[in-house]
């Protein structure tokens, strides 16, 4: 295991929070606090906030991401947004397959794969989310499920394209619940994801992939979670909506 081989990335996922004017204010506050980060700093924001986020983050080390992308380039898909639209706006990253989209919007392993491929084709870096429910964990399916979701999401992704993919292990039971996985559980889950990548692309490639942990990561637990060998950053929900909290997590990644 060699953590030095991969980039640590702390990414916020704002979910359905913040208006454009609130976006400008929050990034204005954050940019000073995170400007000395050694790690990648990304904020994934609602579509309507992208223009404000790009403007507010100009000349800073903050990269902007979207929270979803459609798998077609264009066409009659009312309400959807394509990778080239996002790219032209200045977006670099996009969250794909978040468990909330799987749970509430009918996202499947197949559509997660199609969105991942579309993001890569359009020049975006997908942050692909995988994770088990509490029921699946209690039934003992965590390893099988994480490996399956990872391999499904990466179907037809080449080793070259994989360089632009980030995976986020987000146990569904830890999202927005205040219940965090223990550092060992996070490390183990991320390890299963890395093993799945190794099974397809080989161990050397797997060692270079950034695998984040997400689920109630906060200023108090970030240090311990990020110290684990397989945890290469975080995907942060609630704590990314407060400049101070988010910056403490970014600083924890710098250590
Ligand atoms: P919370 O940090 O609010 O638990 O959300 C995690 C998450 O879903 C990030 O994508």
Q: Is the CB of 236 under 6 A from ligand 1?
A: yes
Residues, the chain, total? 255
| CA 233 to centroid of ligand 1, rounded, Å | 13
> What domain range is 185 assigned to?
9-253
Domain presence at residue 1:
no
Any domain includes 4? no
Q: Tell whether 223 is covered by a domain.
A: yes
Question: pLDDT tens across 141-189, in order?
Answer: 999 999 999 999 999 999 999 999 999 999 999 998 878 889 999 999 9
Q: Please say if the pLDDT value at position 254 is more than 90.
A: no
- Residue 2 lies inside a defined structural domain of this protein: no
Q: Is the CB of 39 under 6 A from ligand 1?
A: no
Q: What is the pLDDT of residues 32-60, one digit of tens each?
A: 999 999 999 999 999 999 999 999 999 99
pTM of the model: 0.97
Residue 63 has pLDDT above 60, yes or no: yes
Question: Does residue 86 belong to any structural domain of this protein?
Answer: yes
Closest-lying ligand 1 atom to the alpha carbon of residue 174:
4
Q: Whose CA is nearest to atom 1 of ligand 1?
A: 237
Question: Where is pLDDT greater, at 255 or 56?
Answer: 56
Q: What is the CATH number of the domain that holds 166?
A: 3.20.20.70
Q: Is 175 in the pocket of ligand 1 (CB under 6 A)?
A: yes
DSSP-based helix, strand, coil % in the chain, nearest 5: 50, 15, 40
Count of domains for the chain: 1
Rounded to the nearest 10°, the torsion over CA 218, 147, 211, 104 is -50
Cβ of 237 closer than 6 Å to ligand 1, yes or no, is yes
CA atoms within 13 A on the CB side of 118: 23
Structural domain contains residue 195: yes
Rounded to 5 degrees, what angle do the CA atoms 155, 5, 211 make?
Answer: 45
């Amino acid at each position: 295991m060699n953590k030095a081989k991969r980039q640590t990335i702390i990414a916020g996922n704002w979910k359905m929070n913040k208006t454009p004017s609130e976006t400008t204010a929050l990034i204005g506050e954050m940019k000073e606090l995170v400007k000395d980060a050694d790690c990648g700093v990304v904020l994934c924001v609602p579509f309507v906030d992208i223009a404000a986020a790009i403007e507010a983050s100009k000349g800073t080390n903050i990269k902007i991401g979207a929270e979803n992308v459609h798998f077609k380039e264009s066409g009659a898909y009312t309400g959807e947004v394509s990778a080239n639209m996002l790219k032209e706006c200045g977006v670099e990253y996009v969250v794909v397959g978040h468990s909330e989209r799987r749970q509430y919007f009918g996202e499947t392993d197949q559509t997660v794969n199609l969105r991942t491929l579309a993001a890569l084709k359009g020049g975006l870096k997908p942050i692909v989310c995988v994770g088990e429910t509490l029921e699946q964990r209690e039934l003992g399916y965590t390893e099988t499920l994480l490996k399956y979701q990872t391999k499904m999401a990466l179907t037809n992704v080449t080793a070259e394209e994989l360089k632009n993919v980030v995976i986020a292990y987000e146990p569904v039971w830890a999202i927005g619940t205040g219940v965090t996985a223990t550092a060992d559980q996070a490390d183990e889950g991320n390890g299963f994801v890395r093993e799945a990548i190794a099974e397809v692309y080989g161990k050397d490639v797997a060692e270079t992939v950034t695998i984040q942990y997400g689920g109630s990561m906060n200023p108090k637990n970030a240090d311990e979670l990020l110290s684990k060998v397989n945890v290469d950053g975080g995907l942060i929900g609630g704590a990314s909506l407060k400049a101070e909290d988010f910056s403490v997590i970014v600083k924890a990644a710098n250590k």
